[in-house]
Structure 1
Amino acid sequence: MDTSSTPRYPSDLTDAQWELIAPMVPVKPGGRPAKHARRRIVDAILYVNRTGCSWRQLPHDFAPWDTVYWYFKTWNEAGVTDRIHDALRAQVRDGNGRDPMASAGIVDAQSVKGADTVGRDSRGYDAGKKVNGRKRHIVTDTLGLLIVVLVTTAGLQDRVGARPVLARAKMAMPSIALVWADGGYVGKLIAWAQQHCRILVDIVRKPEGRHTFEVLPRRWVVERTLSWLMRTRRLARDYERLPEHSEAMIKWAMIGLMTRRLAPAPGRRPWQPAHPR
């Protein structure tokens, strides 16, 4: 049931892209064949991710919405989403001449508005950004590829959220030893990260006296990743009831991005990492 097919929607995987992740997508256990093709389940998740539609508004040529949602939830809980994401990241890094295990990264946070589906117990107010919703704490590698993500209430300070997200980064990527951060992460975090995670946090500061926009070394990489995420309509604001589902949606956005980089659709140029001018 996972044979080749012409993509019905722009978000659908091509045959080459499906081949990248097919070995990591579980096959239904037991003797009876699955009612719905694994590939179409993945395409449905990517459709929700790219278009921002609700689960109930999935087109009828996909599996029923509750079936797709069940797979989204089950794969996330079973670690399938992480395995697909991490394997693709390793392939992209290898294709760019990098060791699959990064030694350096960049940390940042982004506050986004929460939809009505986000409960009061998992949302907050970011007074600095004037945003009522949630905050995405991420660590990327130097190519801008996601290493880990942590979703919290928007009211949590960046330096407070940095502790658990750096701990996650060290568990996911034990080789990481250096993380760049902006001035919002100064303070006790630097000593804490060195002591508990064996990570050196290097603060990249804006030049004194500069009040205009300026591309900062290292910092632009993670900011570009956050802009990539905002191009995915499901991530333009937070619609998920559970923070862990928000994290999963971010990983699916990166899965879609990395499959396109590894196997560009016909007529698309291969991706090359950009550098600031």
Structure 2
Amino acid sequence: MHKNYPSHVTKEQFENIRLILENVKKKTKPRNLDLYEVFCAVLYVLKSGCQWRMLPKNFPKWQTVYYYFQIWSKNNGKEPSIWQLILKKLVRKVRINNHRKEKTSFCIIDSQSVKNTDTTKNKGYDAGKKISGIKRHIAVDSQGLPHAIYVTTAEKTDRNSAIIMIQNEKENLSTVQKIIVDAGYTGEKFASAIKTIINANVEVVKRNELHSFVVLPKRWVVERSFAWLEKCWRLWKNCERKLNTSLQMIVLSLYFNFIKKILNRF
């Protein structure tokens, strides 16, 4: 690889995660392939939105890049993928550098419905937004750092999906005391479920309770996180066949945005 693209990270930034990526696949002989080049190729696909087969020739072969992406994206439902572990490591690092605790005590939850392309395998219909595709669920702290991410088909309700997301990240959200949501999460059943799982209180912010146009308190933070996703052309629509691949692309996008925007300050 001789040409640098805007999607590249620096080699110094890559060194923070090199060992994690290298230890995924056992070496039976010396590795001739530079994983830095593979990682940058994956980021190129994410940012440009191109197909794997259309990777520029100065990257490793697309079959090799896709093979490593699959290994790093493997998620059996119990253990997080390598991308998820890397993102959690980054979030902890950013919070500590901002003089905060590793685990947050405050979260904002929201969802985003996204249209599918014709190549996708899993899809549903969101009758409220009239979108056929998938739904992205995310929980962020006051800085916009992600602490839980979950992807479902679009017909799934926000409340039930949020409960599953929080249950999956119960350990990571164990110190959360307050969660802010919009009107789509209204209901005693939802609040009780959250209280049972992580002992957190739910506050619903409704737009009709505001008498003039103002930004909903703290809600802009999670909307900004969704906006960061759209900086990656691969995520403008859902073109992944499997829900887990969509999830890993979201995780990788958030990692890329934070490593570019935040880590350069330290």
What's the TM-score, normalizing by structure 2?
Answer: 0.90
**Structure 2 residue matching 1:170: 3-state secondary structure:** coil
Distance in 2 (alpha carbons) for counterparts of 1:161 and 1:169: 12
CA contact (8 A) 1:16 1:263 kept: no
Deviation (angstroms), 1:109: 0.2
Aligned to 1:261: 261
Describe the shift of the 1:190–1:208 C-alpha distance in structure 2 as closer, same or farther (beyond 3 A). same
**Deviation sequence 1:127-178 (CA, Å, 0-9, x none):** 2111111000111111111112111111112112111012123233322232
Describe the shift of the 1:50–1:195 C-alpha distance in structure 2 as closer, same or farther (beyond 3 A). same
Indicate the percent of aligned positions where both proteins have the same amino acid: 35
**Structure 2 residue matching 1:125: 3-state secondary structure:** strand
Q: Read off the aligned partner of 1:61 and give its amino acid letter.
A: N
CA contact (8 A) 1:109 1:135 kept: yes
Deviation (angstroms), 1:182: 0.7
1:82 aligns with 2:84: yes
Q: Read off the aligned partner of 2:201 and give its amino acid letter.
A: L
**Deviation sequence 1:220-276 (CA, Å, 0-9, x none):** 111110111112111111111110110100010011112213443xxxxx49xxxxx
Q: Read off the aligned partner of 1:11 and give its amino acid letter.
A: S
Describe the shift of the 1:180–1:6 C-alpha distance in structure 2 as closer, same or farther (beyond 3 A). farther
**Structure 1 residue matching 2:59: 3-state secondary structure:** coil
Question: For 2:96, which of 94, 110, 123 is the aligned residue?
Answer: 94
Aligned to 1:68: 65
Distance in 2 (alpha carbons) for counterparts of 1:177 and 1:202: 11
Unaligned runs of 5+ in 1: 265-269, 272-277
Q: Which moved more, 1:232-241 or 1:62-71?
A: 62-71
Aligned to 2:109: 107
Describe the shift of the 1:6–1:201 C-alpha distance in structure 2 as closer, same or farther (beyond 3 A). farther
**Deviation sequence 1:182-205 (CA, Å, 0-9, x none):** 111011101111123322211122
Describe the shift of the 1:148–1:208 C-alpha distance in structure 2 as closer, same or farther (beyond 3 A). closer
Q: Read off the aligned partner of 2:200 and give its amino acid letter.
A: I
1:32 aligns with 2:24: no
**Structure 1 residue matching 2:135: 3-state secondary structure:** strand
Describe the shift of the 1:6–1:210 C-alpha distance in structure 2 as closer, same or farther (beyond 3 A). farther
CA contact (8 A) 1:7 1:14 kept: no
CA contact (8 A) 2:176 2:198 kept: no
Listed as ranges, the matches of 1:1-277 within 5 Å are: 8-27=4-23, 28-77=25-74, 79-119=81-121, 122-187=122-187, 188-206=189-207, 208=209, 210=211, 212=213, 214-264=214-264, 270=265
CA contact (8 A) 2:114 2:133 kept: yes
Deviation (angstroms), 1:211: 6.4
Deviation (angstroms), 1:31: 4.8
**Structure 2 residue matching 1:147: 3-state secondary structure:** strand
Unaligned runs of 5+ in 2: 76-80
CA contact (8 A) 2:11 2:36 kept: no
Deviation (angstroms), 1:32: 2.0
CA contact (8 A) 2:166 2:173 kept: no
Distance in 2 (alpha carbons) for counterparts of 1:256 and 1:107: 21
